[in-house]
A and B are shown apart, each in its own frame.
Chain A
Amino acid sequence: MNNNLLIKRILFFTSLCLLLLSSTIGGCVPNNPYRSSESNKNIFYKTFSEAPKHLDPARSYYSDEFDILAQIYEPLIQYHYLKRPYELVPLTAKSVPTLTYFDKDKKTLPDDVSPEKVDRAVYEISIKEGIMYQNHPAFAKDADGRALFTNITEKDLKGISEITDFPKFGTRELIAEDYIYQIMRLADPQLHCPILPMLENYILGLDEYAESLKNKLAQIRATRKADAGLTYNQSLDEKKNPIIIDYKKFPLPGVVKIDKYKFKIILKKKYPQFIYWLAMPFFSPMPEEANLFYKQGPLQAKNITLNRFPVGTGPYRFEKFNPNMEIRLKKNENFHGEKYPSEGEPSDKKNGLLDDAFKTLPLIDEIVFKLEKEAIPRWNKFLQGYFDTSGIASDSFDQAVTISASGGARITKIMEEKGISLSTSIMPSTYYMGFNMQDSEVGGYSEKKQKLRQAISIALDYEEFIEIFTNGRAISAMGPLPPGIFGHKTGKEGINPLIYDWDVERKKPVRKSIEFAKELLSEAGFPGGRKPDGTPLIITFDNAWTGASSKQTINWFIKRFALLGIQLENRTTDGNRYQEKLQKGNFQFFFLGWFADYPDPENFLFLLHGPNGKVDFKGENASNYSNPEFDRLFKKMENINNSPERLKIVEDITKILRKDSPWVWGYHPVSFALIHNWVGNIKPNTMANNTMKYLKIDRELRENSRKEWNKPNLIPVLLFFVLLIAISLPALFRIWKKLGYSKKG
């Protein structure tokens, strides 16, 4: 073989490879992460960044999990998709349940009765008839009508790794007992229901019921331990042979079945906010068959559990569950045909949100949640059209959004050209800096201490903080209540007059000056940030901020305190130590946040209720704030429905809180979402989670956009190969020559 022939062969082979590559790639969209069979299908693509921890409605308490769960399980009631302020509407219940109050003599009391007169508060709930569960092997029956999949062995599960792999399915009608069963499950000590301690305060007999289940569990374990002797290993034993507690064997007087479709929930005190809990996944129906089915050892060993494979009546069911890759929901064939709402806010009609009124839900056939752990690939795939909606990571913020001089957020031109729109909504949450009210330096209720905390509140310029650290994605808080919650006020009426002045011309609040804060500090007994004995006032700041940008944030706080002459001593620690410090009250100044469970002021103000103090009562009041007047008003406000009277109480409470300043009120985050123009019917709803049934997709537009945006670019590849060949040729020749093949050829 001579050199020319060699060159020719190399060039021929390279050209062939490139030709093959270009013909394979040129005709399709090679970067499409989905199977070609999915193209043009009515599928909504969403991402998740972490595998869901719990999908059991008794345990799940995270919004990411609710995003999945709420499409499958159906509580009794739901939030209206379009109406604002948020309104509860029936879902599986015939109507939104209302409380009836009774005194000790079982006489009915009026709605506005004072709480101390109420002996029992009763919800009588009727559910709709004919609602069917999704098809599921737990409901499959043999010829004699007995459950088909009981006493499953490992052998039976050969080739089965998901629920959809089972050979037979069944369904059955939703009945009142399923709701009762779920409420009983909430007390199961094996499930760690996060809201059980709260529910025990309200549902009649739930505390005793939970104790009975706990005792039963301990008894079963003690028996098993005695039988197994020295080799007893609780974890291994229950892995093979899970413990099933027969809930129905223990009395729960607070939940009573009336008939097949009707049941009662009896509360031992007045608690109007209980209705909101009924709209959360905790109160989803749970068929007993499902619980018994999943409690089989071989299934648990295969990780086929109720915590991973929900069984519901909702618009979707699990088709594929691989939480490490993809969660695929498919339209539930047995869904009861809920209709798209026909009413909303006045602007909804103009925005096309009522175009699908009365259409049968869900409008999308499948929902695919794709695991994307890292922000960069997630963002790029959204821009390529492979995800239908996206949040905005701080790295991509400038590429997606511009903030105008007036502070308003607008989508950038590049995004606009791609047809991407921006949707913003203020989250029902508050991030705040708190003082330990039991601390001798920063705590206390004297006027001097109030002034010290007010001065610090002024110095911590949250407008600046929001601009620097959140890309403007938040609004300064004027009190504990975020917008959208009853009692929150906007404009001049809503400002915190101790921290802000109202700028009449610009019609916006303006933070009081540092000089004013210094004066307050002086009046508090710390002129120039010095104690009466002349030593500097040092305040410790506890936090668990260990992330990359934490240092800048902490430095910002130190600088703001320094403006008053106060030394802020940072005490960053890990999450566990931080929680421990909060529990023991070993701190002065701290950071926390709260995301609302439901849209009621009680769900925020209870964070400052004295009997909820963290140190003394192990509650959620991390500031350990305890003001008798606040506590009195809170109890009053807690037990009445939204009314001018309630509004007045919230106003009074807010005044007290602002004066005491146990928190620096911080900010309410604003959520930014980007949406491709092929997605329809999107309206931010920060309370509802079951909103995917309302969405729609313009499949043709999406398909065309994807094709247009993802044409492969082969020129750099060709150039690279040409360059590689050019660089390699001299070396190849030399090798060839040295190896001595040319002589032999």
Chain B
Amino acid sequence: MLNYIIRRILYAIPILIGVNLITALLFFYVNTPDDMARMMLGEKRLTPAAMENWKSEHGYNLPLFINTKEGGAGILTQTIFVQKSLPLLWLDFGKSDRNNLDIGEEIKKRMWPSLAIAIPTFLIAVTVNIFLSMIIAYFRGTYIDSWGILICVVMMSVSTLFYIIGSQYFFGKTLRLFPISGFDTGLSALKFLILPVIIGVLSSIGGSVRFYRTVFLEEINKDYIRTARAKGLSEGKVLFKHGLRNALIPILTNIVAVLPLLFMGSLLIENFFAIPGLGSFTIDAINSQDFAIVRSMVYLGALLYVLGLILTDISYTLVDPRIRLE
């Protein structure tokens, strides 16, 4: 298995270089360094000399891929791609365009609020969704199933934005049970987490329960379940011990792949609740057109996704002894 993991990691390197290259092309061709300088310096009293100075200070005065003014390897190394994009490969994110912040340091700081919301949301949502989907699957064809599916479809159809604004209005403003928004450090953060976590769980129920239900239905109708019942096992054991275990493979594919991405935070929830996580970091960077941060977050997202896929493969071996990674 170790060989397999090493091989997968090695495969990931060209993928990440590719992501890096596409990101650089996308960001620097669509948005030229002149545009970036204009955005960062603002409109008031902006002069072409100031723009040139900004570009030179931030290393954006270099050509994108080939520097004909340099000799030897400098033709390649003294370019925006090598200076700005390649360091991402070894997780050196550089400095933000907007205010020279060390991006790596900011990511380190901001991942904790994101995780503080994402982890409980994820755990509660997975538990609730699996539980609900098992019940619905068990009562397939009954009114519980029909109503359950209907509610799921309704919940899926409602935008996350509605859950956020509606919950802020109902729980925060009308019932006055939770702070409408905000965040704090340490234990004081707890009261700010409840509402975002509730919303995160609620907004995931519709889609996930329907998906898990389908998975369970497929398992429930298999021969081994019939055998288990014929052996006289209680319905609870049949469902929770045998059914759940075998349904875990497709569920794991769904869950483990997103596990590393929890780190990236939720764009909408963090923004509306003023939570200083990585989701709001990305949104802020997009709004202020700080492409150094956006580039870093896109790359980080790709890296975590590749990591998620490797973890998914490993997790298969844990839940299904028939699978061997070679």
Contact = CB atoms under 8 A, between A and B. Distances in A.
Contacts of B50: 192, 194, 196-197
B182 A376 contact: no
Nearest to A36: B188
B144 A734 contact: yes
B45 A740 contact: no
Contact of A233 (B47, B83, B273): B83
Nearest to A234: B59
B100 interface: yes
A322 B182 CA distance: 13
A711 interface: yes
Contact of B92 (A61, A190, A236, A744): A236
Contact of B177 (A30, A384, A595): A30
A534 interface: no
A230 B77 contact: yes
A4 B202 CA distance: 31
B276 A324 contact: yes
B39 A381 contact: no
A384 B87 contact: no
B176 A192 contact: no
B95 interface: yes
Given A197-B49, A231-B77, A579 B38 contact: yes
Nearest to A231: B77
A377 B106 CA distance: 25
Contacts of B218: none
Contacts, number: 187
Contacts of B101: 303
A198 interface: yes
A413 interface: no
A576 interface: yes
A380 B168 contact: yes
A551 interface: no
Contacts of B271: 373-374
Interface string B92-113: 1011001111100110011000
B88 to A, nearest CB: 12
Interface in A569-594: 575-576, 579, 583
Interface string B43-57: 111111110011001
B320 interface: no
Contacts of A713: 174-177
B110 A236 contact: no
Given A31-B177, A711-B176, A740-B235, A195 B45 contact: yes
Nearest to B178: A31
B8 interface: no
Interface residues of A, number: 73
A620 B45 CA distance: 7
Interface in B11-37: 31, 34-35
B71 to A, nearest CB: 10
A711 B176 CA distance: 7
Contacts of B325: none
Interface string B39-80: 101111111111001100111000000000000111001100
B45 A31 contact: no
Interface stretch (A49-57, A78-86, A447-455, A687-695): A49-57
Contacts of A714: 175, 177
B272 A189 contact: no
B235 A190 contact: no
Interface string A295-335: 00000111101011000000000000010110000000000
A257 interface: no
Contacts of B178: 30-31
A418 B19 CA distance: 55
A381 B180 contact: yes
A239 B77 CA distance: 18
Q: Which of A62, A302, A731 has the most B CB atoms < 10 Å from its CB?
A: A731
A311 B281 CA distance: 26
Given A25-B177, A377-B180, A381-B180, A239 B168 contact: no
A50 B284 contact: yes
B226 interface: no
B234 A230 contact: no
B286 interface: no
B210 interface: no
A250 interface: no
A49 B258 CA distance: 30
Interface string B163-199: 0010011001111111111111000100110000000
A50 B99 CA distance: 13
Q: Which of A236, A373, A734 has the most B CB atoms < 10 Å from its CB?
A: A373
Contact of B45 (A194, A235, A236): A194
B306 to A, nearest CB: 25
A371 B180 contact: no
B87 to A, nearest CB: 6
Contacts of B109: 161
Contacts of A234: 59, 83
A741 interface: yes
Interface in A359-408: 370-374, 376-377, 380-381, 384
Contact of B280 (A25, A53, A373): A373
Contacts of B273: 377
A301 B105 contact: yes
B272 A374 contact: yes
B38 A618 contact: no
A373 B270 CA distance: 10
A303 B107 CA distance: 12
A739 interface: yes
A31 B281 contact: no
A62 B44 CA distance: 10
Given A712-B175, A740-B235, A235 B94 contact: yes
A235 B95 contact: yes
Given A50-B284, A712-B177, 4 more contacts: A33-B180, A303-B106, A735-B138, A741-B234
11 contacts: A30-B191, A54-B99, A192-B41, A235-B94, A301-B105, A324-B110, A377-B272, A381-B180, A712-B175, A713-B174, A714-B175
